[in-house]
Amino acid sequence: MIAQQVHFCPCCRTPLSQEQRFGRLRPISPACGWVFFPDPQVAAAAVLTNQAGEVLLVPRANEPHRGCWRLPE
């Protein structure tokens, strides 16, 4: 998605507004707080499990979603 093409929140379909977030003006949903990031980075991940089949997750250190669970890098 390109920022100029994003007009509605993909989560709640509310029209987006421009607000200062994470150091720059970004399209955000005033209803649910979803933030559009125009330049996602390519990434790879591996899922680590123990012998019981439990998945290793770690808490995010940074915003957005600080403290939410994610895969380790």
Residues forming contacts to Zn ion in the complex (CB under 5 A) are: 9, 11-12, 29, 31-32, 34
Min dist. Cβ of residue 12 to Zn ion (A): 3
Shortest spacing between CB 7 and Zn ion, in angstroms: 12
Q: Min. distance of Cβ 24 from Zn ion in angstroms?
A: 19
Per-residue exposure over 27-38, b if at least 16 CB sit within 10 Å of its own CB, e if not? bbbeeeebebee
Beta bridge partners of 73: none
Task: Specify which residues 20 forms β-bridges with.
Answer: 25
> Do the beta carbons of residue 21 and residue 13 sit within 8 Å?
no
Peptide bond into 64 cis (omega under 30): yes
Minimum CB distance to Zn ion smaller for 11 or for 55: 11
The residue among 9 and 27 lying less far from Zn ion, judged by its C-beta, is 9
Quick one: 55 or 65, whose CB is closer to Zn ion? 65
